[in-house]
Amino acid sequence: MKDNGWVVVAKVGESVAAKRTDSCGDMEQLELMELILVSEHETKVAAEQAAKAKRIAKDGWRYAVMSRRDYEARAA
């Protein structure tokens, strides 16, 4: 497991978008997920900028920045 770096995640359970189907239409799979990995970054600043850009898009998802180590622990 890589424990360095930062990731931007979509917080599925807290998002309006969780109430609609994903691109494959597999709502059941989407409901089982807590976080969806959106992008990976070397620095926290880069991850925060990417998350800010995603939030500006107002696509219905809630985005968060977390360390890769924390993400891996929660996704396991």
Q: For 25-50, how does the pLDDT look when each residue is reduced to its tens digit (9 = 90+)?
A: 555 555 556 788 999 999 999 999 99
Quick one: tokens of 57?
A: 């898009």
The answer to whether residue 11 sits within a structural domain is: yes
Q: Which residues pair with 65 in a beta bridge?
A: 8
pLDDT (tens digit, 9 = 90+) per residue, 9-22? 998 766 666 555 54
Rounded to an integer, what distance in angstroms lies between the CA atom of residue 47 and that of residue 69? 14
Quote the domain boundaries for residue 50. Answer: 6-75
pTM assigned to the model = 0.74
The answer to whether residue 1 sits within a structural domain is: no
Residue among 21, 17, 19, 1 nearest 68 (CA): 1
- Residue 65 identity: V
Spatial neighbors of 20 by CB under 8 A, at least 6 apart, are: 60
Domain count, the chain: 1
The answer to whether residue 70 sits within a structural domain is: yes
